[in-house]
Amino acid sequence: MIRIVVADDHEMFREMLSIALPRGGEFQIVGEAADAEDVRAVTARLRPDVLLLDYKMPLVKSFSRLVGDLRECSESTFVIVLSGTASLEVARQATDGGASGYILKSTQLSAVAEAVRTVAAGGIWVDPSLPRKVFDVFQRSAHVAEGRGESGLASLTRREREVLACVAQGISNQEIAQRLCISEPTVKTHLTRIFAKLSVKNRLSAALAFYNRERADAVHPTAV
């Protein structure tokens, strides 16, 4: 199950998403926030898988800085920006902070759900109704991240590396959950992200990627 925090200053919009998104049983709304201070506190405390973040949040001095702060306080949280307007400037500020998606508030709920799935798996999502230039901004941002070595194994968070190490030992999801003190659905979410980041489709391929990296590190140890 994908854990989501909804951050928007309009209570009715938050309530609508909080009621509609979990209906399929795939998503869980674990928290809400109404301004920049709230969203920082809620994200740090709950560490959701995905944060749906309104662009026009109260108490925001710099939107890109806000997104960056949120990514720092919860490195495993992916940010999708919500906006009522199509704007290249919104896209630039979002990607400068490290956001993974941009959707319009007027989009269909099914598209919001697809955006959450895609971003939770490590991808990017741009509302299809947005201009091509907006997509290009997110695509360039993704390429820059890859150029800095933030793809594949290098892009895994600490928790994802712990899960992958357990997978490489042949441990089941239930046993991983018990060992790491997390729920089984959380283990499955981590595996979805790991598979996406490693571009693999199953546990065996992920385990092989892990062991190949371990072997390389043994032959060419990293200097400290």
d(CA 121, CA 193): 4
For the stretch 100-126, pLDDT in tens is 999 999 998 988 998 998 888 878 888
Most confidently predicted of 20-24, 40-44, 122-126, 129-133? 40-44
Domain edge (last residue) among 112, 147, 182:
147
Report the SS3 class of residue 4: strand
CA distances 47 to 35, 40, 76, 168, Å, are 17, 10, 7, 25
On whether both 20 and 126 belong to a single domain, the answer is yes
Which position has the higher pLDDT, 145 or 199? Answer: 199
Confidence band (pLDDT; 50, 70, 90) for 194? Answer: confident
Domain count, the chain: 2
* Strand pairing class (78-83; 50-54): parallel
- In this structure, the dihedral spanned by the alpha carbons of residues 164, 165, 169 and 175, taken in order and rounded to 10 degrees, is -70
Does 223 map to a domain?
Answer: no
For the stretch 124-163, pLDDT in tens is 888 888 888 888 888 777 655 554 444 567 777 788 888 9
d(CA 111, CA 115): 6
Which position has the higher pLDDT, 215 or 13? Answer: 13
- In this structure, the dihedral spanned by the alpha carbons of residues 92, 100, 129 and 111, taken in order and rounded to 10 degrees, is -160
Domain span at residue 131 reads 2-147
Q: Can you give the pLDDT at residue 218?
A: 46
Q: Can you give the pLDDT at residue 219?
A: 41
On whether both 34 and 78 belong to a single domain, the answer is yes
DSSP code of residue 28: E
CATH classification at residue 126: 3.40.50.2300
Average pLDDT rounded to a whole number, residues 209-213: 73
d(CA 24, CA 129): 25
Confidence band (pLDDT; 50, 70, 90) for 84? Answer: very high
pLDDT at 221 over 50: no
39-65 in b/e burial notation, b at 16+ Cβ within 10 A?
bbebbeebbbbbbbbbbebeebeebbe
pLDDT at 207 over 90: no
On whether both 120 and 133 belong to a single domain, the answer is yes
Task: Report yes or no: 179 and 171 within 8 Å, Cβ to Cβ.
Answer: yes
pLDDT at 220 over 50: no
On whether both 133 and 180 belong to a single domain, the answer is no
CATH classification at residue 210: 1.10.10.10
User: Which DSSP string corresponds to 70-133?
Assistant: HHHH-TT-EEEEEESS--HHHHHHHHHHT--EEEETTS-HHHHHHHHHHHHTT--EE-TTS-HH
Domain edge (last residue) among 115, 147, 179:
147
For the stretch 51-68, pLDDT in tens is 999 999 889 889 999 999
Which position has the higher pLDDT, 154 or 81? Answer: 81
93-130 in b/e burial notation, b at 16+ Cβ within 10 A?
bbbbbbbbbbbbbebeeeebbebbbbbbbbbbbbbeeb
On whether both 37 and 97 belong to a single domain, the answer is yes
pLDDT at 192 over 60: yes
Left (φ > 0), alpha (ψ -120 to 50) or beta: where does 216 sit?
A: alpha
Q: How high does pLDDT run on average in the chain?
A: 85
